[in-house]
Amino acid sequence: MFSLLIIEDELDYRDSLIELIGQDCNVSSAESFCEASALINVSNPFDAILLDKHLPDSEGVELIPLIRQKSVDTIIFVHSAYNQNPPLSIDDPRIISLDKLGNITDLKRNIFDYIKRLNGKV
């Protein structure tokens, strides 16, 4: 079973993700940049991280260097409801942009498909 860190500031959305995705993997969560960075520093590397692009205390993408210091293998799913923003311009096949506006069941399927394809885990 793989490990997933969900970094999401919207409580209801985060709880829905944890309930749905947590049935099939080990889930940890954080609601802010500060909480996420502390968790990333003290935890074993996560197999995947679902990272909200916009957090109340910083831009979520600013966590990417810290995540990469911990593990180059962690798959990072950057998701945002602000789909009018340009896509991420990061040349890293293990960083994937996902739209937050869709159905969370589809989001779960996309996450699991990418993890299976990149890591062979699920």
Q: Structure pTM?
A: 0.88
Using the Cα atoms of residue 53, residue 56, residue 59 and residue 62 in order, give the sign of their dihedral. negative
Indicate the SS3 state at residue 81: coil
Dist CA 33 CA 55 (whole Å): 6
Q: What is the largest CA-CA distance in the chain?
A: 35
Tell me the pLDDT tens digit for each residue of 47-56.
999 999 999 9
List, in order of start, the domains of the chain with CATH numbers.
3-119 (3.40.50.2300)
- Ranges of the chain whose pLDDT falls below 70: 82-90, 120-122
